[in-house]
Structure 1
Amino acid sequence: MKIEQIYTGCLAHAAYYIESKGEAAIFDPLREVQPYINRAKLDDAKIKYVFETHFHADFVSGHLDLKEKTGAKIVFGPTAKPNYDAIVAEDGQIFEVGDYKVKVIHTPGHTMESTTYLLIDENGKEHGIITGDTLFIGDVGRPDLAQKVVAELTQDKLASLLYDSLRNKIMPLSDDLIVYPNHGAGSACGKNMSKETTDTLGNQKKTNYALRADMTKEEFIEELLDGLTEPPGYFPQNVLMNIKGYESFDKVMDKAQNPLSPKAFDAAANETEAVVLDVRQQSEFIKGHIPRSIFIGIDGNFAPWVGALIVDVTQPILLVTPKGREEEVVTRLSRVGFDNVIGYLDGGFEAWKNAGMDYDTITSISAEEFAKDFEGKKDVVFDVRREGEFVAEHVDGSKNTQLDYLNNYLSEFPEDKTFYLHCKGGYRSVIAASILKNRGIHNLVDVAGGYDAIKKTDIPRTDYVCPSTLK
């Protein structure tokens, strides 16, 4: 069967393309749709359907633009209620794509409309399942997202439905089916996903904790909900955009193509209350940046951090980017629903400096320098990694102030003395430093290289000890 996984690492997202006899279908496309259109052109094929496994929370799908540009029909599973023209399929309904068949299997649990698509080849053989967020490699979809949009859809209710969907709809299928999930490791839509992005269903039955044959519903719910962290704040807004519709990607891009001189950029920032988002490399931001700008580097886990920290997708944004990467940045912002980029600094930060505009810096020191006189610093060390990373091992005496929830910790940073920030490798701590400076907190020092560099010094550290090993 001709199926291609189109994987986007920065979102840990997988879309799928199938083609048979000049007809094609796309499953769970990203916001920018031209790559899918170009792929179909290579096969001289027409995109007939856009299949959606559910209303996504972590990205804005490109289904509406694909429909507009290609005439393809949008297909959702049972119970979906989109605010635009789409096919809401029945459980068991079959769609034809050339000689292939796509069978709808309603699998509620991650969301109520969540649907798995069974792929059947030209010989009538069942080839694989496109599972969306129902089944990942090593995990299953978290059941706590729909409640952010519909209050009565509690995580316990959806977890119960997911258990039934897996046992009654997925696990009875053939072991040799290939599982094609919507996400891989790094996505916030699950908690224990493998770095592998496909597997056989038979192997998942053996290795995926959620598919244990002897698991009771109560055990499933308990294990599924254990360790779930609060989902990023932008998730509900993306769900609503996917349900209600959105501005076309072309219009978003046209609006953002607005190069501004340093003075015009400064005026726009003051007049619009836009967030000034600097996406350069962190070492460049440390050396110089526009005062009160926020750093989230384009070469890191960019879009999810924007969603987690800026949160409001309607927020006006002004960009400071590496030269020539403006379009890339706008594209990656739009993937998570941030469609209100109103311009960018023409000529980048160098133009700002050359115009004689004021700029700020961040004090940053090496791990070796940090290690000197560590005893005098240990009560003012702040680790912005996630809780699991901190629990596993951390600098003695340090405090865990996770970047995801940094605003909740503002009162913990001292006002009367210098404090130190670090993460794992240096990316997140610079984000944290930029946010704190934006809040008027400047008595901070970044530890370059983060915990990875600190481990190479003689600074005392605390490692996690499993309780079962204690005597």
Structure 2
Amino acid sequence: MKLEQIYTGCLAHAAYYLESDGEVAIFDPLREVQPYIDRAKENNASIKYVFETHFHADFVSGHLDLKKKTGAEIVFGPSAKPGYEAIVAEDEQIFNVGKCRVKVLHTPGHTMESSTYLIIDENGKEHGIITGDTLFIGDVGRPDLAQHVVSDLTEDKLAGHLYDSLRNKIMPLSDDLIVYPNHGAGSACGKNMSKETTDTLGNQKKTNYALRPDMTKEEFKKELLEGLVPPPGYFPQNVLMNIKGYESLDEVMKKSERPLSPEAFEAAANETGALVLDVRSQQDFAKGHIPKSIFIGIDGSFAQWVGAMIVDTKQPILIVADSGREEETITRLSRVGFDNAIGFLKGGFVAWKKSGKEYDTVDTITPSQLKEAISKENHYPIFDVRKESEFQSEHIEIANNTPLDFINNHLAEFPSDEPFYLHCAGGYRSMIAASILKSRGIHNLIDVEGGFAAIKEEGIKTTDYVCPTTLL
């Protein structure tokens, strides 16, 4: 038996490849399915099943394209109602993959159809559990997402179901089982996931707050729901795509890979109202970019921030990328359901600048320059766009906190009559914030290079007390 975790860092997502005796099962695949097909072909194996732990909210799964290209059967857990042909399994139903077995454990809570798959090897030994969003390393799945699709599924109801699922289906299992979750640290599907992407169930029973044996259901609900922030706006749209079906990635690529000259690019932007998305480095964006374009760098947590900041998956998008990275950008947009890219700038920003068209820049300042500036009595205000939890942990003593996730709700808080400073942890998020503010006509901002990490190195005074001017 071969069981491999295929981890994609930018989404904090784990798919799984199970192979035995020439047969393969894929669990929770990404949108681009060719790598799974190639892997099976290299091993002279065929993909028999695509197992889905639930209808995902944070990405569009590749189950439909895998079925179309390989003939594999799609399997969901009990109560799932997909809008296409699939097997809706019964609780404890067993599927054979070569000489291995996959046992369905219905574990509702994150969603009602959520299921865990118990992997039993060729010798009949229980090896591990593929848990989806039911159980993470150090955390469990948030129970407030389904309500955005079905109003009756309140977070309180789902939290109660999750409590029962963990205690009745997961905790009685053997301590030596390996836990294989769908996500790791950085995913918005939980609150406090570990950076580790696998663990033994026994260790999770000792260390995961949600698996404490003496915890009552009400205590579980309280701890689970405390501190949840609103989910990204694209989550319900991805859920519906996964339930109802979606356009093949091959078709998305065909319509999106359209190289446009600067003139055609500008005309397309004006005629369609497309959002211009610049995915280069934050340093390059600061030096020059198309006016009103939004920066979300391809080398950061790209898909997550696209979903958080753009929200509408149907939004037409025009891409500015470094030459050779256009296909990668379109693919990574499609992972989170943004299938309406309508072209890219041929030759990138260099071509735009050479054409003599107008461009904008972002003013920046080094931490040493910031230190000198705030030593003066009448200095400009500072806005920290990190998460509230990061800010509470430590921040510049005189800073305000406006988390990037909610910046569109607080545009009026930024000064209109004087400059102000922006920073995040390392410079990525603050440049996203700068691009959004500039696209809204707020140009009197100055980005701090290197973010909070560089600020600390410079010795600027910080505190771990919550600033009274925190914006929520």
TM-score normalized with structure 1 length: 0.97
**CA separation of 1:436/1:141 partners in 2, compared to 1, >3 Å: closer, same or farther?**
same
Does residue 1:166 correspond to 2:166, yes or no?
yes
Aligned to 1:218: 218
Bigger shift: residues 391-400 or 371-380: 371-380
Give matches, 1:238-257, under 5 Å: 238-257=238-257
Q: Which letter maps to 1:407? A: N
Instruction: Report the counterpart of residue 234 of structure 1 in structure 2.
Output: 234
Distance 1:459 1:106 in 2: 52
CA distance in 2 between partners of 1:305 and 1:396 (Å): 27
The letter of the residue matching 1:84 is Y
How far residue 349 of structure 1 moved from its aligned partner, in angstroms, is 0.3
Match for residue 469 of structure 1?
Answer: none
Q: Secondary structure at the match of 2:410?
A: helix
Confirm or deny that 1:178 pairs with 2:182: no
Q: Does 1:20 align with 2:15?
A: no
Written as runs of structure 1 = structure 2, the 5 A alignment for 1:211-360 is 211-360=211-360
Structure 1 counterpart of 2:126, one-letter code: E
Distance 1:213 1:418 in 2: 54
**Residue identity (%):** 75
3-state SS in 2 of match to 1:231: coil
Q: Which residue of 2 aligns with 1:417?
A: 418
- Describe the shift of the 1:323–1:376 C-alpha distance in structure 2 as closer, same or farther (beyond 3 A): farther
- Taking a change above 3 Å as real, the CA distance of residues 377 and 113 of structure 1, as seen in their structure-2 partners, is farther
Contact in 1 for aligned 2:28/2:50 (Cα 8 Å): yes
2:33, 2:62 within 8 Å by CA — same for their partners in 1? yes
Provide the rounded CA distance (Å) in 2 between the counterparts of 1:373 and 1:67. 60
Q: Does the residue aligned with 1:26 lie in a helix, a strand or coil? A: strand
1:394 corresponding residue in structure 2? 395
Amino acid at match of 2:388: E
**Structure 2 partner of 1:371:** 371
The alpha-carbon deviation at position 464 of structure 1 amounts to 3.7
CA positional deviation for 1:46: 0.8
Does the Cα contact within 8 Å between 2:110 and 2:133 map onto a contact in 1? Answer: yes
Q: Is the 8 A contact 2:67 2:73 kept in 1?
A: yes
For 1:407 and 1:129, the matched residues in 2 are separated by 40
Aligned to 2:408: 407
2:380, 2:421 within 8 Å by CA — same for their partners in 1?
no
Q: Please state how far the C-alpha of 1:378 moved relative to its aligned partner.
A: 5.1
* Separation in 2, partners of 1:378, 1:47: 63
The Cα of 1:201 is off from its aligned counterpart by 0.7
Instruction: Establish whether residue 380 from structure 1 lines up as the match of residue 381 from structure 2.
Output: yes
Letter in 2 for 1:399: N
Q: How many residues align?
A: 465
Shift of 1:83: 0.3
SS at match of 2:412: helix
Contact 2:418 2:444 in 1 (8 A): yes
Following the alignment from structure 1 to structure 2, what is the Cα–Cα distance between the partners of residues 339 and 454? Answer: 38
> Take 1:153 and 1:40, find their aligned partners in 2: how far apart are those partners?
39
Measured after TM superposition, the shift of residue 99 of structure 1 is 0.6
> 2:199 maps to which residue?
199
Does the 8 Å contact 1:378/1:397 carry over to 2?
Answer: no
1:123 and 1:106 map into 2 onto residues whose CA distance is: 24
Aligned partner of 2:93 in structure 1 is: 93
Bigger mean CA deviation after superposition, 54-63 or 196-205: 196-205
* 1:133 aligned partner: 133
In 2, Cα distance between the equivalents of 1:369 and 1:28? Answer: 48
User: 2:433 matched to which residue of 1?
Assistant: 432
Describe the superposition over 1:111-146 as per-residue Cα deviations: whole angstroms up to 9, x where unpaired.
Answer: 000000011111111111100000011111000100
Quote the Cα distance in structure 2 between the aligned partners of 1:345 and 1:369. Answer: 35
Asked if 1 retains the 8 angstrom alpha-carbon contact of 2:131 and 2:180, the reply is: yes
Query: Are the equivalent residues in 1 in contact too, given 2:28–2:51 (CA < 8 A)?
Result: yes
Separation in 2, partners of 1:366, 1:91: 58
**Offset of residue 377 of structure 1:** 5.7
Change beyond 3 A, Cα 1:252–1:376? farther
Shift of 1:153: 0.5
Question: Aligned equivalents of 1:115 and 1:63: distance in 2?
Answer: 16
Determine if contact 1:144/1:155 at 8 Å carries over to the other structure. yes
2:470 maps to what in 1? none
| Pair 1:9 & 2:9 matched | yes
For the residues of structure 2 that align with 1:39 and 1:377, how far apart are their CA atoms? 62
CA drift of 1:100 comes to 0.7
Secondary structure of the 2:267 match is helix
| Partner of residue 119, structure 2 | 119
One-letter amino acid of the structure 1 residue matched with residue 410 of structure 2: Y
Deviations 1:322-366 (A, max 9, x none): 110001001110000000000000000000011101100010010
User: Cα offset for 1:458?
Assistant: 4.0
Match of 1:468 in 2: none
Name the structure 2 match of 1:82. Answer: 82
CA distance in 2, matches of 1:316, 1:334: 12
In the alignment, the residues of structure 2 paired with residue 19 and residue 381 of structure 1 have an alpha-carbon distance, to the nearest angstrom, of: 54
- Residue 187 of structure 2 aligns with an amino acid whose one-letter code is S
Question: 1: distance between equivalents of 2:291 and 2:254?
Answer: 27
Question: Match of 1:455, SS?
Answer: helix
Instruction: Work out whether residues 63 and 74 of structure 2, in 8 Å CA contact, stay in contact via their aligned partners in 1.
Output: yes
Within a 5 Å distance, the mapping from 1:4-83 to structure 2 comes to 4-83=4-83
Unaligned runs of 5+ in 2: 467-472
Letter in 2 for 1:307: G
Task: Tell me the residue number matched to 1:154.
Answer: 154
Amino acid at match of 1:388: S
TM-score (norm 2): 0.97
Find the aligned partners of 1:99 and 1:393 in 2 and give their Cα distance: 53
Whole-Å Cα distance in 2 between the matches of residues 101 and 70 of structure 1? 21
Shift of 1:379: 5.6
Letter in 2 for 1:422: H
- 2:107 aligns with 107
Could you say what secondary structure the match of 1:373 adopts? helix
CA distance in structure 1 between the partners assigned to 2:73 and 2:377 by the alignment: 65
Structure 2 letter corresponding to 1:138: G
Task: Find the aligned partners of 2:443 and 2:455 in 1 and give their Cα distance.
Answer: 23
CA distance in 1, matches of 2:462, 2:30: 42
